Amino acid sequence: MRIAYLDCFAGISGDMFLGALLDAGVAPQVLHEAIASLNLGASLRIEKVDRSGISSTKVFVLDGTHVADEKDLSEPQVSQTKNHDEGSNTHVHDHNHEAAHTHSHAEKKSGHHHGRHLSAIRKIIESSTLAPQVKQTAIQAFELLGASEARIHNVDVEKIHFHEVGAIDAIADIVAASAGIHALAIDQWFCSPLNVGGGTIDCAHGRFPVPAPATADLLRGFPTYSAEPQMELVTPTGAALIRALAPTFGQQPAMRVQSIGYGAGTRDPKGFPNVLRLNIGESGQNTSTDTVAVLETAIDDLNPQIIAHVTEQALQQGALDVMLTPVLMKKGRPGTLLTILCDPDKVPAFERFLLRETSTLGIRIHQEQRSCLSRSHRSVTTAYGDIRIKVGSLAEEEFNATPEFEDCRTAAATHNVPVKQVIQTAIAAYHASKSK
């Protein structure tokens, strides 16, 4: 099984995540193409830098007017402007990772920084040519940011007005990270407890202790700690990406590490490597046996469109799997058995989710053991482009080899051929490569 471990001893931010992804092996073209698809005029500059003696990758986002590396690209600072009109908005600003209220060159000249509502950001991403799963992750990250700000200010999420977080550089930051995440084709993400740093930060409403309000809300329920240096280490964007990933927290699991990436933050404090480390490899066991929680409920009075929505939302919120089974209920009514598999520590969240989002009056909850084959990805070259193959193995013996459907669907659309033809070609190419 292909797994990844994020070592957040120096926290996490959007640009650190991008650097770690690239340093661990994501092709730069993946990120360049993702940003180009937004048609916002943004681009990336990638450099090797030194952080306390560690060679790491630093990513700079260019928005056509300035280099957005003089600040952390995605640390919202919140200021709220109110008037007597009920339509007033909550405005979300960035604050500098090094000092509050440092704005871009463009903003200094104009005195105003263009902002966007969540609906506008969502439209930009949905209108792009990004793969559906990349769009989903990027939109989810922004929705998480918006939801946190809405809770903090007690306003509707659609009234949240992102200023620099809605600017070109920050949108590129989140979208590129989402593209890199899916390019790695990780089966399961793991993460260390998060060092949030210490000290205070200056926000529009005054001085706040680290972490900032939005970050603190996004990290709710996650293992965190405060250690040196006395500065902000986890940004709201970093926290939103972690929440979107829904990793398993704890010490690094048993794994055969194949690649290590270091993503650099903007600052370089003396004696402290301000980097995010990303380890990628195979699970240390040929099969993994773990305990999963099973939540299920049978429903016969809910709109099927809502059931489909609940399925999508459960997967976005970290469910391991969601299944829908047609069943015959009392009085001969056709119904649907909705089953969610999740990590045991997520049972309370999914229990509340089902009770809130469906018409059920009760949920059955139990735990089961599951055994999983070791999974890995290999790439084969076909007449329709490179296709990833997911391989399931036990004690080095391959039991299953299946082309990634999204790769096949994209290739089929590009070459105007049936998707089954691409799948068959990929399987044939995989077996041919094994015989060499």
Q: So what's the pLDDT on residue 168?
A: 74
Q: Can you tell me the distance from the alpha carbon of 162 to that of 118, in angstroms, rounded to the nearest whole number?
A: 7
pLDDT in tens, 285-295: 555 567 899 99
Q: So what's the pLDDT on residue 361?
A: 94
Q: Give the DSSP letter of residue 197.
A: B
Q: Can you tell me the distance from the alpha carbon of 226 to that of 207, in angstroms, rounded to the nearest whole number?
A: 18
Choice among 50-54, 112-116, 175-179 with the minimum mean pLDDT = 112-116
pLDDT in tens, 8-21: 999 999 999 999 99
Please indicate whether residue 426 or residue 236 has the higher confidence score (pLDDT): 426
pLDDT at position 264 over 70? yes
Query: What torsion, rounded to 10 degrees, do the Cα atoms 434, 3, 51, 49 define?
Result: 40
Mean pLDDT of the chain: 83
Q: Which long-range contacts (CB under 8 A, 24 or more apart) does 152-156 make?
A: 152/78, 152/213, 152/214, 152/217, 153/78, 153/80, 153/90, 155/89, 155/90
At 117, the amino acid letter reads H
pLDDT band for position 107 (50/70/90)? Answer: very low
Q: Can you tell me the distance from the alpha carbon of 208 to that of 226, in angstroms, rounded to the nearest whole number?
A: 15
Nearest to 97 by CA among 66, 61, 71: 71
The mean pLDDT value for 264-275 works out to 92
pTM: 0.60
Contact by Cβ (8 Å): 264, 18: no
Nearest to 26 by CA among 155, 200, 250, 180: 180
> What percent of the chain lies above the pLDDT cut of 70?
83
Q: So what's the pLDDT on residue 91?
A: 43
At 365, the amino acid letter reads I
